[in-house]
Structure 1
């Protein structure tokens, strides 16, 4: 799923493969611990496009 905008089928296949390798028993404490981790800032589509555009032209 290494694309900018993956389709629904690709996302579902990726998530399914993750569930196959994750431990079957997950405690509520483990879930809460993960939820407390810092999250990266959200990037809008416009910001993503601008950054990609800048990177593309700076390499030329």
Structure 2
């Protein structure tokens, strides 16, 4: 039997915390930052957590399920 491969794009985008949450980096922080407020840029620094409705799908991409 061939090995089942992990989705390469998913493994670059998601990390699993010690408590089992799946986190990701928020969008809109790469360029055109001059027009965005400091408050908005600061909040984009924080990691996002995958919603429980999508967790099964992301776990399947990462071959955790």
Instruction: Give the TM-score normalised by structure 1.
Output: 0.28
Structure with greater contact order relative to length (CA < 8 Å, sep ≥ 6): 2
Considering fraction of residues, name the structure with more helix: 1
Larger Rg: 1
Between structures 1 and 2, the one with greater strand share: 2
